[in-house]
Structure 1
Amino acid sequence: MASEALTELAKRRGFFFGSNGAYGGTAGFYTFGPQGAALKRNVEDAWRDRFTLQEGNREIEAPTVMPEAVFEASGHLDTFDDMLVECSECGSSHRADHLVEAVTDIEDAEALPGEEVEALIADNDIACPTCGASLAGEPVEDFNLMFATDIGPGDAQPGYLRPETAQGIFVEFPRLKEYARGNLPFGITQIGPAYRNEISPRGGLLRLREFTQAELEQFIDPESDEPPLDRVRDVSVRLYPATEQEAADGEYLDTTIGEAVDDGVIGSPWVGYYLGVAQEWYERVGVDTDRFRFRQHLAGERAHYAADCWDAESEVDGDWIEIAGFAYRGDYDLSKHDAYGDDSFTVFKRYDEPKTVERATVDPDMSVLGPEFGGDAAAVAEALATLAERDPDAFDGETVEVTVGEGDDAETHEVDADVANFSVAEATENGEHITPHVVEPSFGVGRTVQTLLAHAYETDEVDGEERTFLSLAPEVAPQDAAVFPLVTNDDRLTALADEVAADLRAAGL
């Protein structure tokens, strides 16, 4: 089906339509109508049932505005960019990688360096979609996608609308781990809006500036926690690994989750587990599995935090669109927030039995360090303690060198070993603090809604006339039942129909 037909159907039947039409519309923002809001809510409830309730996870709801420090720690300030090219003739802005994909056989131009995309624009003489002027020679630049705002009046604190719901979970980890009693693994879910200042919104619900995500952050001990893989071992999936994408004659791999994990096609058993869960869930809500696949990210397109990443993709109107991502984020997020924040983002892992270990310590003589190093004395003492843990052999000589400060402000000091009072003593340890790793299934709710509508869109012929209808799965269909009196001019039948409808509503339909 043509996307125009679906968009027209969605508008006419009250599923979704462009927002702010009375004021000329605003690109990248859509309103869900009565049918669409009900469909979207049912998709969210089905996701909540499978990924929160059935998995034994817990759901939170965090603010959508967060301070700048959060995104400095997470890396979004430096790396959350898309490639922008501006037309010098009309001033319009475009996603440079999308323009390249539209006129070449390259499917993932965002994985290419900006200089290469710039060269491809010139080599293919790509024109501005708005005015037709050539874009050859126009610079391709990085454009940060976050919406900036001020928190409070006057000397306000800088903040941003969250570009993903995940950070709202990560920053609350110190408290969330208490609710889990410090035991791994545990999962936290969140369904809510996210915001990205897209360069060129397009495709209905596929690329919006405000959209809804449903995300799960699974916190695990990478050394000991294993997923319940047997639950999905026999689930059939269609995979498109990176190696096949890069091959001249690359093909899909039709296999099972168990075989893909055992053969190393899917590197992480946890990612494999959630691919299997997602496959079953998408079938449950009505995605056409003949138009569905899991595609592995190429190295150049992986998010800055992802060690490995797969996308769930659906075919809509001849194009493959991403509708969910499955990333092994490692300890990136929690380590970053642990370094930048004031709380601890680790958990205490208790040993099966206490261990006796040798521990190197220092007890610096501050009566000597103070006069010698002045304001740096405390920093020197801390550096000595860190060095003792990292490299005890450094204290074998008569003096010890430590560096205080970073970058241009770094300064090296020499301390007499006797002043450091280095020693090694036996200690009993009951456990250790570890930084959990994170596995993240992240679903685009709007993209799922558009996929369901596209895959449910059908036509047939009745008495020589073509009709269009949606064959939605009952669990997500916006209407559960309808009551129609045989005739509308009979008050008795109308009253009876109203009574039946009221009974159905009272029953939760």
Structure 2
Amino acid sequence: MQDIYEKILMLAKRRGILFPSFEIYGGSAGFYDYGPIGSLLKHNIENLWREYYLIKENFLEIETPTITIYDVLKASGHVDEFTDLMLICSKCNRAFKAEEVFPDLSEKEIVEAIKEGKLKCPDCNAKIDKSEPFNLMFSTTIGAGKGRKGFLRPETAQGIFTNFHLLYRYIREKIPFGVIQIGRGYRNEIAPRQGIIRLREFSMAEAEVFFDPKEKSHPKYEEIKRNKIRIVYDDKEEIISIEDAVNRKIIANDALAYYMSLTQDFLIECGIDKQKLRFRKHNPDELAHYANECWDAEIYSERFGWIECVGIADRSAYDLKAHIEASGKDMYAIRRFKDAKEEKILKIVPNMKKIGSKFREKAQKIKQELEKIEPNKIKDKISIEVDGEKIELTREYFDVIESKEKKTIEKFVPHVIEPSYGIDRIIYGILEHNFFETMKKGEKYTILKLNPKIAPIKAGIFPLVNDKRLVDKAKEIEKDLRETHKLVVYYDDSGTIGRRYARMDEIGTPFCITVDHQTIEDDTVTVRDRDTTKQIRLKISDLPKYLKEKIAAL
């Protein structure tokens, strides 16, 4: 007997929602294509997400390359930290992702169990005798010949971080502000086995929200603080108000909480069942290398259980600090004071007479390196590197002096809250939560009850019978709705009217318009509602307004 996942994939393939990639060559795990209906659905979901972040939140949107140079991902920590523990069976040569095969064991426990010969291969039952960290990035070479090392990006975020200084200037040095990017991400998964839940190439919608760490609040917090969310933390689960969760320090700050509430609103509007949605707090041992705190929005699947579809992380100043250190560029924001603030300042003063006498042509470079060092970190002796040579300097070559300065500004590294959405997983959740089967005339009848806002086709348009007058009028209505009113509609004159309704119901089309003989007499048509199957009669001239109002309201 088929489970819901198999039914959805069969429907998706039959109706042009999803296709396995490269199928004529046997396919490849971790890759799927969006068909004509799936592409429209994905486009509508991404545009609804833009409504939340571009329109309601007034964020900026940028687009950056999917190929990222080595230096960026080395600085961000992905070269060293973006790994999964891989298990290898020496008998059958299969590789497995450790946490999927043994989900109840920590990495440390898995490594110990391998040493003790306690773990067996799930395929051939031989003892697993090897484990190693596996970097999940796809590497590439940029350019011909030796070229430059690069990777397919694991996240869109780094393209935003490396442009921070330009974006900050563009927004006239105002903070907080947010930047979004929708695009592809890549993970060379060890053994993807969950269809579109675990892809090697996937679609992401990410927002990076830059805050002053001294003011990690959100101006709209008061509007959402009474909203309730279901949370899982410290092995407990409860439904709680946003305000209560922040006051009890379950959620670190109201900015993080605000984006959890916004995420809940977005997912529910997309069609995720609220009863099958929760937010789970990461334990300290599962936090990403860049995160201070992270919550996953998880949706429940009958086949896969709870699936992470959105990560909402407090990345603190990790990324910008890393890029400042690696690039040497100014990626700071400015805090302005109304009244001048007097501060004690430590300053390094190089003794250029001594430095010039001993190091001659390197004197200026030594001065520059000295001035990069934080004065409060200097002891009696320091070591610097100039042109690949390590140079040790004692206090005779520099001094650290204290002075008082009046400041009206100070520099700081902004903190970042990041809501990161996995579009493909959200699409699967929408399909599963809105997939319904009923019996009609002794046969199974499938309905996809999509929110009209994201439905790929807004209306099907049918002539009742193959009469030239009805066909011409139906085509005229279809053309007017599509070209004049910019609605995605579908003309169909094949098969019985019942079969045509069924095809539209299977792809989530909310309305079906039928042109019959009465249409020729009085310019009216029937409009059928997908969910109630009730029909009303409308003037053709009223159709655009009716459809647009219904789509916007639901």
TM-score by length of 1: 0.89
CA deviation after TM superposition for structure 1 residue 468, in Å: 1.6
The answer as to 2:288 corresponding to 1:303 is yes
Equivalent position of 2:53 in the other structure: 51
* Secondary structure of the corresponding residue to residue 198 of structure 1: coil
In structure 2, relative to structure 1, the CA distance for the partners of 1:118 and 1:28 (3 Å cut) is farther
In structure 2, relative to structure 1, the CA distance for the partners of 1:285 and 1:177 (3 Å cut) is same
Rounded Cα–Cα distance in structure 1 between residues aligned with 2:269 and 2:374:
57
Equivalent position of 1:68 in the other structure: 70
Rounded Cα–Cα distance in structure 2 between residues aligned with 1:323 and 1:97:
18
CA deviation after TM superposition for structure 1 residue 501, in Å: 0.5
The answer as to 2:418 corresponding to 1:426 is no
Give the counterpart of 1:357 among 316, 332, 343: 343
CA deviation after TM superposition for structure 1 residue 16, in Å: 0.6
User: 1:1-22 CA distances to partner (integer Å, 9 max, x unpaired)?
Assistant: 5311211111111111210111
Q: Is the 8 A contact 2:375 2:400 kept in 1?
A: no
Rounded Cα–Cα distance in structure 2 between residues aligned with 1:484 and 1:324:
40
Equivalent position of 1:238 in the other structure: 230
Equivalent position of 2:87 in the other structure: 85
Count of residue pairs brought into register by the alignment: 481
Whichever residue aligns with residue 461 of structure 1, its letter is M
Mark the runs of 5 or more structure 1 residues left unpaired by the alignment. Answer: 245-250, 395-399
| Superposition RMSD in Å | 2.3
Q: Is the 8 A contact 2:98 2:107 kept in 1?
A: no
Equivalent position of 2:469 in the other structure: 492
In structure 2, relative to structure 1, the CA distance for the partners of 1:118 and 1:450 (3 Å cut) is farther
The answer as to 2:185 corresponding to 1:183 is no
Identity %: 36
Q: Is the 8 A contact 1:146 1:163 kept in 2?
A: yes
Equivalent position of 1:442 in the other structure: 420
Whichever residue aligns with residue 168 of structure 2, its letter is K
CA deviation after TM superposition for structure 1 residue 508, in Å: 1.4
The answer as to 2:314 corresponding to 1:328 is yes
Q: Is the 8 A contact 1:99 1:126 kept in 2?
A: no
Rounded Cα–Cα distance in structure 2 between residues aligned with 1:388 and 1:17:
56
* Secondary structure of the corresponding residue to residue 402 of structure 1: strand
In structure 2, relative to structure 1, the CA distance for the partners of 1:483 and 1:124 (3 Å cut) is farther
User: 1:252-296 CA distances to partner (integer Å, 9 max, x unpaired)?
Assistant: 211111111111111121111111111111111110111111111
Give the counterpart of 1:229 among 210, 221, 226: 221
Whichever residue aligns with residue 277 of structure 1, its letter is L
Rounded Cα–Cα distance in structure 1 between residues aligned with 2:118 and 2:223:
49
Give the counterpart of 2:44 among 42, 45, 58: 42
Give the counterpart of 2:23 among 4, 9, 21: 21
Q: Within 5 Å, which residues of 2 pair with 1:203-222?
A: 203-222=194-213
CA deviation after TM superposition for structure 1 residue 172, in Å: 0.8
Q: Is the 8 A contact 1:287 1:451 kept in 2?
A: yes
In structure 2, relative to structure 1, the CA distance for the partners of 1:20 and 1:365 (3 Å cut) is same
Q: Is the 8 A contact 2:44 2:455 kept in 1?
A: yes
Equivalent position of 1:119 in the other structure: 113
In structure 2, relative to structure 1, the CA distance for the partners of 1:405 and 1:239 (3 Å cut) is same
* Secondary structure of the corresponding residue to residue 431 of structure 1: strand
Deviates more, 1:80-89 or 1:181-190: 80-89
Equivalent position of 1:501 in the other structure: 478
Rounded Cα–Cα distance in structure 2 between residues aligned with 1:259 and 1:415:
54
Deviates more, 1:375-384 or 1:143-152: 375-384
User: 1:166-189 CA distances to partner (integer Å, 9 max, x unpaired)?
Assistant: 111111111111111111100000
Q: Is the 8 A contact 1:114 1:141 kept in 2?
A: no
Mark the runs of 5 or more structure 2 residues left unpaired by the alignment. Answer: 488-554
* Secondary structure of the corresponding residue to residue 473 of structure 1: coil
Equivalent position of 1:389 in the other structure: 375
Give the counterpart of 2:383 among 397, 400, 403: 403
Name which structure has the greater RCO, CA cutoff 8 Å, separation 6+: 1
* Secondary structure of the corresponding residue to residue 252 of structure 1: strand
CA deviation after TM superposition for structure 1 residue 231, in Å: 1.9
Equivalent position of 1:397 in the other structure: none
